[in-house]
Amino acid sequence: MAERMGLENLGVDGMLGAASALSGSAEDYVNQPAIEMSWAIKAYDHAETYFNLLCAVDPALLRLTPEDDEIYAKCRESFPALDLRQIHEGDLKSTEAKEKWRSFCNTFEGKIQDFNFGTLLRLDSSLDYAEENTILVTRIQFFAIEIGRNREGLNSDIRNKYKATPKTKSS
């Protein structure tokens, strides 16, 4: 496990320093605005790129990962009644939903790069990204829901309703 995480290059001093830092109180750590801004830019760029793809390509033809078939099958097996057209916060964030989603997400650890990275998801599949139509989810939740929307034809009208926009400079 240490080799997979790159810890073999830390050395004794590095490991002692890491152990010391990890033994501290969580309250000692504060969010750094520069890191938060960097994450927000990356999440926005991902959302903008994905929506432009929906505007330009038939979503039924999109493959978001090499594991699309497995992700879709596991999602529908785990959440057969989930309405992909209109996601509600409780579908993802209620206590019961969190437990089910945690189990689902962990299935893809090691299979999907950055499977637990924060990603923006549209709540209503017929609308663009906007503050009132966006929620933060893990990357694997994004893939599960958007692969399902693409396969079930729920993103098909996006091309008729919206046009791709030139990528903005976020840096």
* Percentage of residues of the chain with pLDDT beyond 70: 78
Burial annotation 51-89 (CB, 10 A radius, 16+ → b, else e): bbebbeeebeebebbebbeebbebbbeebeebebeebee
Residue given tokens 């989810």 in the structure block: 137
Q: What is the CA radius of gyration of the chain?
A: 19
- State the first-to-last Cα distance of the chain, in angstroms, to the nearest integer: 35
Q: How much is the pTM?
A: 0.77
Strand partners, 120: 136
Confidence bin at 36 (pLDDT 50/70/90)? confident
Tens digit of each residue's pLDDT (9 = 90 or more) over 82-130: 999 999 999 999 999 999 999 999 999 999 988 888 899 999 999 999 9
Question: Which pLDDT band, with edges at 50, 70 and 90, does 164 fall under?
Answer: confident
